A and B are shown apart, each in its own frame.
Chain A
Amino acid sequence: MRAVLASLVCFAAVARAERLPNGIELALVPEPGAGEIAVVVWVPVGSRDDVAPRTGLAHLFEHLMFTGSKNVPEGEHDRLVEEAGGWSNAFTTPDATVYTTVATAGALERVLFLEADRLAGLRLEARTLATQKEVVANERRQRYENRPYGAAEGLLSAALWPAGHPYARLAIGEPAEVAAVTLDEARAYFGRAYTPEGLLVVVAGDFVPERARALVDKTLGRLAARPRPERIEAPALTPLGAPVNVQADDAVQTSRVYLAWPTPAWYGTVDAPLAVTAGLLGGGKSSRLWRKLVVETPLVENVEAAYVEGEWAGVFQIVATVRPGVEPAKVIAAVDEELAALAGRGPSRGELERARNQHEAGLLEAQEPLSGRALQAARWLAATGSADRLNETLRAVRAVGAPEVRVVVSRFLSAKTRVTLTIGPVEE
C-alpha cells in the first residue's frame, strides 16, 4: 500500500506572502475556475491575551465585529455576504481571533471592502454590546452548560495547565466578567488589538492575482499603520509532575473518559509523529483502540484520539464513551495496555502505513474547500512565516517510522504525566 503514496506528486508552491506598507502580511492562493473566493483575516490576539477581570473579551469582540462598521449598518454585513452566496464566521482560540468569509468569485471586492471597513471603523453601540453579551451567554449555555459532557473542555484546560496560565481558562471567559464589559473597554480593545501591523490576510479562490492585489491595495492597503498589539510573553510551562485525576457528574446515561497530555509548541519536530500516532490509536475503525475497545472487548461505544496543535503548547487527547455498565477504570487500563505495547514493540508495518496514508489524505482533503485552504495557509503563515508548507508537511509525515512513534509515546504519553477526566452519570 505504501506504493500508493510513494508516487504522489509534490505540489508547486501557490501561495506567496508579502508585506503591505501598513504591516499586513498578505498571501494570495489562486484557484482558477473555483467560482468562489475565501478571505481569512487572522488577528494575532486571542483569549490568552485577556486579562482578569475581563476574561472573554477577545471572544466577545469577535461577535462585535459583525455588528456594523462605518459604511455598513448593523445587520448588513452578513446580508451583503449572504446575498453573494457566501457565509462569514469567526472563531477565537487562545492564540488568535480568526475571521473567514466565503462568497461567489464576483464578490471579491465586496468582501475585501467589508473587511477593510470594519477594521477601519467599527460601530460600537451600547445596544449591540448588550445584545451580543446575551448571545455569548446563550453560546455558553449551548456549548458548555446544556450539552452532554459539555464541562469537559473547561475541566481539561484547568487541569492541563498551571493555575493562572492563559491556556487554563476557556476562551468564552467568565460570565460575570463578560457581562461587565463596558462600551469604553470595548472601544479601547479595538484600538489596541485590531491594528494592521501583524494582521495576516489570505485570499484564496477564483481570481487573477494582479487584480486581487490591486483590490487589496484599494481596501485593506489603505488602513492606517498603527503599532502592533503588545502580547504577553509565554509563561514557563512546567510539565505535569504527577498524574491528575478529575471526576465530574453530568446529566448523562453513561461515562466518558478523557486522557490528555500537554505536548510541545506547534510546528516542531514532534508534530508529524504525534499526528500519526493519533491516527494509529484512534483514527478510524481499523485503528488500534477502536479494534481493541469497540470490537474485541467491547468496552466502549466509540473512541478517538487527536493531536491539537497550539502556539505555546499542544494537547494529545484520547476520548472514549464507555458502554453502559462498564467500569471506566477498565477502559483506562485497556488504553494503558495499548500505549505500553506501542511504546515497547511499536506499531506494525501495516498499521503505520494506514496511519501515514490517512494523515496524508487528510492533509490533501483539507486543501479542497477554499476556506480550508485559506485557513491552513494563514495558520502556516502565523506559525512559520511561510503560507505554503504542504510539501514539507507531507514529507514529514512520510518520514514517520516506528522508532519515531515509540519515542513520542514514551516521551509524551505516559500515565504519570497526564490528566484523566471521567464524566459520569449523576449518582442517584
Chain B
Amino acid sequence: VRRVWVVLWFVGVARAEPVPAIDERVQMTLPRPEVVRFDNKLELWMVPRPGLPLVSVVVAVRQAGSANDPPHKLGMAAFTVDLLDEGRRPGQTVDLVEEIERDGGTLRAWVDEDAAMLAVGTLARALPHTLDVLHTMVTAPPFTDADAVRVRDAHLDQIRLRPDRPNAVASVILGEALFGARSPYGHPPLGFLATVEKLSMGDARLFRSERFRPSSTVLVVVGDFVPAELRALVDARFGGWNAEIATPARPAVAPPAPGTLSVVDVPGATQANLLLGTRGVSRDDETSFDVDVLTTMLGGTFGSLLNRRLREELGLTYGADAYATFLRHDGRVVIATDVATPKTVRALRETLAIAKRLADRPPPPKPLQQARLALVHSLPRAFDTHVRTAETVAAMALHRLPADWLYSYRARIEAVTPARVQAAAKKLFGAGRVSAVVVGDVGVIGPGLGKLGLGPPVRFTADAERAP
C-alpha cells in the first residue's frame, strides 16, 4: 500500500501546477516621516495620509517607562501615566477623557519599559482640540488626590487579580529570571503590592515633572492633515513648553544570569502555560537584524519551526510563538505556548531541541529564506492603519533611528546570512542561557521537568513570589 501511495504521490507532483511567484515589481511606497525639531527640542514626526478623515496622534516620552521607576516605588511610571487623563481643565464642563471621547476619539495611555505613551485616534477635524487636551495631559495634568487614590486602588486590585492570568504570572517570573529582581527591566510595569501601596498623588506629580520634558518628548501624527498647518498647531501649543530640569540617572542593567526553571503549581489546570526566555539585544546592536530573522524563523509565523513542529506535526498545542523585544539598552527573546498538561515535558524538550539545533549549526536555507521574505514582504503591515503607522514611527523615534531607516530595512534583512543567524542563536540559546517558567498542574506534569537540563525547578506561588 505504501509503495502505491509513493507512486501516486510522484505522479501527483509531476502533474502539479506551479504556485505563482511573487511579483516583486509591485512595491509599497514606504512612508518617509517628516521630522521637525522645535527650539525647546520637542520632536514632531509627521506622516500625512489623505483619504479617510482620521488622524492618529502618539505622544511618546523617553525615559519615562517602568525602567525609570525608583527602586522603592516600582509601578510609579504606570501609576503616573494612568492619572494623566483624569480630572478636568479649568473652564471645561467635562473631564479630559470625555473631551476626547465626545469628538469620537479613543484615548490609550500606557508605559513600556523605556517610555510613557499616550495615543489618540480620532476624526481629522478634531485634531486641534485633541492637541489641546494632550498638551494639558503632558504639561499640567489636573488630576486630584481622590483620582490618585482611586487609580492606585485599581492598580492594587489588578496586581491582586494577576493569579487569574497564568501568562501574566509567568511573565513576571520570567522578567525577574532574565534581568534580576527589581532591576530596571526585571519588574512588571504595574509594580508589586508593597511598592504600589506607598504611591500618592505627590509621587505622580514628581515623576511627571522630572520625566516629562520637551527634550524627551516625541509627538507623532499620522493621517489626514496638512503638514504646515499641523506644525503651526503644535508650535502654538507645545512651542512654549520649557521644563528642563536635571533627571536622575538610570540604574545600570545587570549582566545576564544563568538560566533557571521556575514552576507555579496550579492543581487541576488542563493546560500548562510555558514561557521561555533569554536576554536579547537593543535595536542599535549590530546583530538586531540577525535576531529579527532568527525569531521569525523560530516562531514568528504560523509556518515557523516551533509552530510547525509543536502544533502541526505533534498536535501538542493550539499555537507556539517566539518574538524579540528590543529595549533601549537591552532586549529579550520570548517563546510562548500553552500545552495539554500531560504533554508539558515533551513540548519543552522539543522546544529546547529546536533552539539548540539553531545554536549548534547554521539554519537550513529554506526556512531562513522564508523568514527573510516574511520580514521584508510584511513591512506594509506596519503601516496599514494610522494607529499602527503612528506606533511604528514612534518606536523608530524612541530607538533614535533616522527617519529614512525603513528604506534600508530590506537590504539589512536580506544581508543576514546563515552564519549570522547561528551566531545569534548561540548567543541567545547557548548552554545556560535560557530560562523557563511553567504554570500548570505539577502533579500531572510529573518529574520529567527536572531532567531537561534547565536545573532543578524552583517553586513560585500564583502571586509570582518565591514559594516558602
State the A residues within 8 Å of B (CB). 1, 4-5, 7-9, 33-36, 70-72, 74-76, 78-80, 82-88, 102-110, 113-114, 117, 130-135, 137-139, 141-142, 145-146, 148, 206, 251-254, 283-287, 294-295, 298, 301, 323-324, 350, 353-354, 357-358, 360-361, 364-365, 367-370
Known contacts A131-B313, A138-B271, A368-B385: A82-B301 contact under CB 8 Å? yes
28 contacts between A and B (CB under 8 A): A33-B28, A34-B380, A35-B29, A36-B384, A71-B17, A82-B374, A85-B379, A104-B378, A109-B23, A110-B22, A130-B315, A131-B314, A132-B315, A138-B316, A142-B271, A146-B166, A251-B268, A285-B98, A294-B154, A295-B150, A301-B154, A324-B157, A350-B94, A354-B104, A357-B123, A358-B101, A364-B53, A367-B52
State the main secondary structure of chain B at its contact with A: mixed
Contact B160 A324 (CB under 8 A): yes
With most chain B CB atoms within 10 A of its CB, the pick from A9, A106, A287 is A106
Q: How far is the CB of B4 from chain A (nearest CB, A)?
A: 15
Q: How far is the CB of B343 from chain A (nearest CB, A)?
A: 9
Contact A113 B26 (CB under 8 A): no
Question: How many A-B residue contacts, CB cutoff 8 Å?
Answer: 241
Residue in B closest to A109 when the chains form the complex, CB atoms: B20
Let me know if B420 is at the binding interface, CB within 8 A: no
Let me know if B376 is at the binding interface, CB within 8 A: yes
Residue in A closest to B28 when the chains form the complex, CB atoms: A35
Within 8 Å CB of B150, what residues of A?
A: 295, 298
Contact B379 A1 (CB under 8 A): no
Q: How far is the CB of A85 from chain B (nearest CB, A)?
A: 2
Contact A284 B97 (CB under 8 A): yes
7 further A-B pairs in the complex, CB-CB below 8 A; given A4-B104, A85-B380, A141-B340: A82-B374, A141-B318, A206-B28, A253-B160, A286-B102, A357-B123, A358-B104
Bound Cα distance A80, B303 (Å): 9
Let me know if B392 is at the binding interface, CB within 8 A: no
Within 8 Å CB of A138, what residues of B?
A: 271, 311, 315-318, 338-340
Bound Cα distance A287, B102 (Å): 10
Bound Cα distance A108, B157 (Å): 49
Contact B161 A85 (CB under 8 A): no
Known contacts A79-B370, A138-B317, A142-B338: A84-B22 contact under CB 8 Å? yes
- Tally B residues with Cβ within 8 Å of A: 83
Q: How far is the CB of A120 from chain B (nearest CB, A)?
A: 10
Known contacts A84-B377, A134-B315, A146-B270: A350-B102 contact under CB 8 Å? yes
Contact B340 A137 (CB under 8 A): yes
Within 8 Å CB of A9, what residues of B?
A: 53
Contact B125 A4 (CB under 8 A): yes
With most chain A CB atoms within 10 A of its CB, the pick from B18, B23, B154, B315 is B315
- What are the nearest 6 A-B pairs in CB distance? A35-B28, A85-B377, A134-B315, A357-B104, A106-B23, A286-B98
Contact A75 B19 (CB under 8 A): no
| Contact for A78 among B102, B103, B160, B301, CB less than 8 A | B301
Please encode chain B, from 1 to 35, with 1 for each CB lying within 8 Å of some chain A CB and 0 for all others. Answer: 00000000000100011111111111111000000
Contact A354 B101 (CB under 8 A): yes
Within 8 Å CB of A80, what residues of B?
A: 19
Residue in A closest to B125 when the chains form the complex, CB atoms: A4
Within 8 Å CB of B269, what residues of A?
A: 146
Within 8 Å CB of B26, what residues of A?
A: 35, 104-106, 206
Known contacts A83-B370, A286-B101, A361-B105: A8-B377 contact under CB 8 Å? no
